[in-house]
Every structure is written in C-alpha cells, then in structure tokens.
A = this chain, B = another copy of it.
C-alpha cells in the first residue's frame, strides 16, 4: 500500500514592506513543508498614511499577484492592510485570507488565564474562509483583562484592534508609537535611545491604562524590539504578558494545516518579490527574517 505524500502547500505572505518577514520567520519552523511566496510592496510603502481606498487598491493588486503565482492561502502580514482592506482582499480572491489583527486579539484572550481554555479560538476553513469559534465574553468574572496595543498611528486610528478585542470581552487601550518603526529600520534595536523612547511611550500608556496586564505588539516591526521592551517594562516595575501578532498569525495559519505541522519534509523554500530596490530589500530584510534572503525578484505593479 502506498501512503500518499501530503501535497506541499504554497503560502503567500504579503506586506507593504519588510515587517511581514517576522510573520514568515515564525511560519518557517511551524510549516517547514510549505513553499512560501513573499511580496513586499516597497515602491508604494508606507500604507499607514494613505486613504482606505488607496490602501485597498494597492493591497488587492498585490494579493492578486500572489494568487496568480500559485498561492493557495494568503497571509496579510501587515497591520494597516489588515485593518483597512482585509474584506476587500477576501472578496477579491477565491482562496483563504488570514490577517494579523484577529489572531493577535485571540492570542491576547488565550493569555488571559482566567478564561476557560475550552473557549479559545480554533481557526478552521469553511467555504474558503477562515472561521472561528469566538471565545465568549468573560461575563462570569468581574475582572476584564486590559490589553495595551502598541501600533502605528494609522492602525490605532482604524480602531481595528479595539473592535476585535472588545468582541472578545477584553478592554483595549491603543497607543500610537510612530518612532518605533524608524528606530528598527535604523538598526537601533538594542540602543539607549530606543529604551528612552519606549520608556516615554510606556509611561504615557500605563498612566492612561494602569490596569493593563497584557501587551499586544500590533506592528510587524515590533517583535524585533522584544528584548528592549522587556528591559524597559522591568525598569518601570510593570511586567506584562507580551503577545506578538506575528507569532499569533503564524499559529493561526498552522492550524489550517494540522497534518503538516509535525512533518519534516525537506526545508521550507521561499521566493521573494519586491516592488522597489532588490538590494535594499535583501539588506534590510535579512534583519527581519533572521537569515539571508535568496532569490529576490523586482516586480512592477504600477502606481
């Protein structure tokens, strides 16, 4: 009897730039059997300051390209595109599309030890869409977990995390941290200036929301700052459970391929596309992926 070899899925990962590589980084060890297509729309970044219509147009054209290249499941590894254009992308494509906001919010719920683990989110496919059993609001408890969300100004303005967290019965406080992405891109990941900036942002946020127990990193750049964040929170005497959307999203994707999570069929393979300078993409991207980027192609999507 021949046991059929499970087919290796092709997973598309999309971001306006480099940050989504932290989601890919989390995916590689979880689903090593997959082939990954990553698109960074670097010629049109940042999406954060653009209108909803423009973001949707850019994100849909990028998503369609990855589908045309064979992607069978698409990860929107970008907070702004998820917050403002997830439904547009889901409507435009006949494949499952997973964003970063809902998995991040679900992971914050899971982190709340007060809740019954049986209520936690189990994502699965139905009619080509990711659906989930939403955890019930913790009405049995008077204690509502307060989640602090750090994100870019555009993501905070969209209130997408607040909506997702409130739906799960969690209280949310969102804090825009516009300097963190430039600091990461400058390479100042473990740097006294970055610690000072984090201290200012956390002092403001924790003064406004002192009941905070959980910290949600609502930007794909921020996982690179996790050691600095832990250092600063310790110095402020206010340790928090840290959730990053990158790992939460990777786990949500992995839950769609339960038969592949434990397989070790070969090494994961990746093809990268960037809409602006390949050299810059390779140079900066390797910091986010934690390994060199091979096979980067220049792509013209117009705009």
Contacts and interface: CB of A to CB of B under 8 A. Distances in A.
Interface string A166-197: 00000000000011001101100000110011
A209 interface: no
A51 to B, nearest CB: 6
Contact of A276 (B42, B50, B192, B197): B50
Most buried by B among A42, A186, A200: A186
Interface residues of A, number: 23
Given A51-B277, A182-B182, 4 more contacts: A43-B50, A43-B54, A50-B276, A303-B303
Interface of A: 42-43, 45-46, 49-51, 54, 178-179, 182-183, 185-186, 192-193, 196-197, 200, 276-277, 280, 303
**Chain A interface main SS type:** loop
Contacts of A43: 50-51, 54
22 contacts: A42-B49, A43-B50, A43-B51, A43-B54, A45-B49, A46-B46, A49-B276, A49-B280, A51-B276, A51-B277, A178-B182, A178-B185, A178-B186, A179-B182, A179-B186, A192-B196, A193-B193, A193-B196, A193-B197, A193-B200, A196-B196, A303-B303
A199 to B, nearest CB: 10
